[in-house]
A and B are shown apart, each in its own frame.
Chain A
Amino acid sequence: MGDALGSDLISDLPQSIIESILVRLPIRDAVRTSILSSKWRYKWASITQLVFDEKCVDTCSDRDVVEKTVVKFITRFLFLHQGPIHKFQITISYLQSCPEIDQWILFLSRNDIKELVLELGEGEFLRIPSCLFKCKKLCHLELFRCELDPPPSFKGFLCLRSLNLHQVLISPEAIEALISNCPLLESLSLSYFDSLALSIRAPNLKYLYLEGEFRDICLEDTPQLVEISVAMYMTDDIAEHFEQSADCNFVKFLGGVPNLERLVGHIYFTKYLSIGNDPGCLPIMYKNLETIELNQVSFEDMKEILVVLSLITSSPNLKELQISGSSNIPSATDAPDLDFWEKCPSKCRLSQLRVVHLTDMCGVPHEMELIKFLLGSSPVLEIMTIIPCVYVVESQLKMLTELVKFRRASAKAEIVFIRE
């Protein structure tokens, strides 16, 4: 029965629009639409994207009660749900591993789940049931604090495009097999793995994010990689392992990625790349590499500086460069191998370099030489920002004095020296 003033504006819109609206509501509000009118009773029950977050039930001070309420809510929701479920996300910090989750995953595996995100609270890791591996249509998988144990009969997720494992317990063979058995994998993110030696074979991989203690990373077959971001932590174990390794890490890691567009390294990444025999002249040019960001580069280690330089000179189309020093208080103002810079190819032109950001600069000789090199080889440089390390207040004046002397290839270049 419509109002005298107007007829129902919304209930007869096609289900795809209703879904479009309901999916943008917090899930609680979506369920509440069931009491709007008789037509709306079950509209919420066929939405295909379910996102359960901290606010989906009322909180109270007793964590157990809230957890039970959430579990009941989700279970009942799933039971009342009709139709396929394409996305299922739980991001609830007060929910811990519980037996109901296994049932939910089983239910999802029968309902064409495509995107699954499980982020539970700190505590016992959730043991993922084997029914997850039967989700044939899975495209996107994101797990936090879980234990994964693929059964031997598992042949891979054939539709998986994106895999994100954060603090997940899984054996190295299993993770390598998982990666190589997902032929469509485009984006891979692994964080907080302990002491993992990884060899990645993924012909369609475009985006790679690694964070943790990796003993070894070998990009065996990743020709399509476009973006790499690595944060490498170091333990004594790994440091020792590195001392003994003779392979050239640079080539192992960056030797097979000609399409690279963006490279980001944190913490010990540059050190990692510097280990191993000197490759000499690099075998490949990174024609598409436009952004390089290397953090915590130690300018007292000649090998690391070489790595930085090789990268820069092998990227003719580099547009943006960001380097941060390792903010260790320099032990000496003198540095060996300064004459290396004289031998540096002066005809190297960074013809596309426009923006340079340097942070945590201590003013050590190699840093200054690098700046000099950059200024002298970038004809279209627009801006260079230098932020000195906070510990070295005295040498800032010295840095500035030297900076002023450097020849600039670009008339437009602005040097911005930012002091706290």
Chain B
Amino acid sequence: MSESDMAVIKPEIMQPCIWLQTSDGALQQVEQEIAMVCPLICEEVIQKGMGSSKNCAICLPQRVTPAALSLILDYCQFHQVSGRSNKERKSYDEKFIRMDTKQLCELTSAADSLQLKPLVDLTSRTLARIIEGKSPEEIRNVFNLPDDLTEEEKLEPLNNTTDDPRIRLLNRLYAKKRKELKERERLKNVEVEEEHVDDRSVDDLLSFINGNDADPKGMKSSKNKKKNRRKKEQQKSSSLKEASELNNKEINGHNIRPQTDGANGIAEASQSNTEDSTSVSREFDDGDIDVEMDPALQEKLDREVEDFARILNSDWPERMQELLSLGQERKATPFTSNENSILRRNA
């Protein structure tokens, strides 16, 4: 500390100086011109008149470690000289930024608390470059991130977790296994049924209003819109309620879908709703209820899930086509057989 002190003080005995105090309590005297490059220090000096002596040294924010401060001051010292060309500045930056990741993160944090935006941009860019293209395992190693998402990780080879509805299904079913279900189930069983019914009747109503021969895509999108909006509002109100409701729909989904959904539009909507609902429930980190009520069903689901995982992990593209085409077939049947039933129900 004192060495850098000396280096800073010696050449500029005549220059005005500012006193800074870092988080460890140590005091440091720095050339005013250099220190004032940092907006925070600038503000302290100009607006509050601090820093002119040891007694009123500017207390730097907690996140500014002495090492980071010294790096920042080097940076400021180089860049505040006006004659430099852009090329010079760029090459300085590239050399400057070469440090290990720990230092880099500390530097980012310190620069941010001093409001030194150009340096924050530089360090952010560097950190982004470090992250880009690496596998999650590598990124975790670099930043010492805890590996606490084990189930989801299993799906990692599939690469894009936001992509496919079946991945979402898988995600949620996995999460289900390790969460406490009973409390949720006890709380929400009754409302779940009601909600479920409500949804369905509104769906039917919509399809009735829009006419069954309306453009299925259009219908789907408007319905989706409605559902999405509704889901969003519900999201804001009571989370658990929705999570359980959606879950219920979905579990029943596989086998009961033809019955709960009528027209093609609804089936489609429900499928994509499933996707959305899975995303929504992910939000609440749970989404698992009703499975306990039927252990046989749960076992069946577990097996299905494991099959799924195996299939998905093995031969991805072909399987995806297969599964998608399977889904199409299932959808086709309800449309033809239940079309009339909707009208009858609503009539």
Contacts and interface: CB of A to CB of B under 8 A. Distances in A.
A173 to B, nearest CB: 31
Nearest to B153: A35
Interface in B217-238: 217-218, 221, 224-225, 228
A28 interface: yes
A54 interface: no
Interface string A9-26: 111011011001110111
Interface stretch (A36-44, A232-240, A376-384): A36-44
Interface residues of B, number: 44
A280 interface: no
Contacts of B133: 29
Contacts of A35: 136, 149, 152-153, 156, 161
SS class of chain A's interface: helix, strand, loop or mixed?
Answer: helix
Interface in A88-129: 99-100, 103
Given A13-B108, A29-B131, A37 B225 contact: no
Interface stretch (A74-82, A298-306, A399-407): A74-82
Interface residues of A, number: 46
B14 interface: no
A73 interface: yes
Nearest to A19: B124
Given A17-B124, A26-B132, A10 B143 contact: yes
A79 B228 contact: yes
Contact of B275 (A6, A11, A41, A76): A76
Interface in B121-144: 121, 124-125, 127-129, 131-133, 136, 139-140, 143-144
Given A8-B143, A72-B163, A25 B156 contact: no
B125 A24 contact: yes
Given A8-B146, A36-B145, A76-B279, A16 B112 contact: yes
B136 A10 contact: no
Contacts of B127: 10, 21
Given A79-B276, A99-B217, A31 B148 contact: no
B55 interface: no
A106 to B, nearest CB: 8
Contact of B128 (A2, A24, A72): A24
Contacts of A3: 144, 146
A28 B225 CA distance: 25
Contacts of A103: 221, 224-225
B41 to A, nearest CB: 19
Contact of B149 (A13, A38, A69, A77): A38
A28 B125 CA distance: 17
Contacts of A31: 160-162
Contacts of B228: 79
Given A8-B143, A20-B120, A35-B161, A13 B136 contact: no
B92 to A, nearest CB: 20
A98 to B, nearest CB: 9
B51 to A, nearest CB: 25
A33 interface: yes
B228 to A, nearest CB: 6
A28 B132 CA distance: 10
Contacts of B129: 24
Contacts of A40: 145
B171 to A, nearest CB: 10
Given A2-B146, A3-B144, A38-B148, A32 B161 contact: yes
B243 to A, nearest CB: 15
B124 A37 contact: no
Contact of B162 (A8, A24, A76): A76
A10 B127 CA distance: 10
A244 interface: no
A76 B105 CA distance: 31
Interface of A: 1-3, 5-11, 13-14, 16-17, 20-22, 24-26, 28-29, 31-42, 57-58, 69, 72-73, 76-77, 79-80, 99-100, 103
25 contacts: A1-B146, A8-B144, A9-B101, A9-B102, A10-B127, A10-B143, A11-B145, A14-B109, A21-B127, A24-B129, A25-B131, A26-B132, A29-B131, A29-B133, A32-B136, A32-B161, A35-B149, A35-B152, A35-B161, A36-B145, A37-B145, A38-B146, A73-B163, A80-B283, A99-B221
Given A10-B145, A13-B105, 8 more contacts: A6-B144, A8-B143, A11-B145, A13-B112, A26-B132, A33-B139, A57-B160, A103-B221
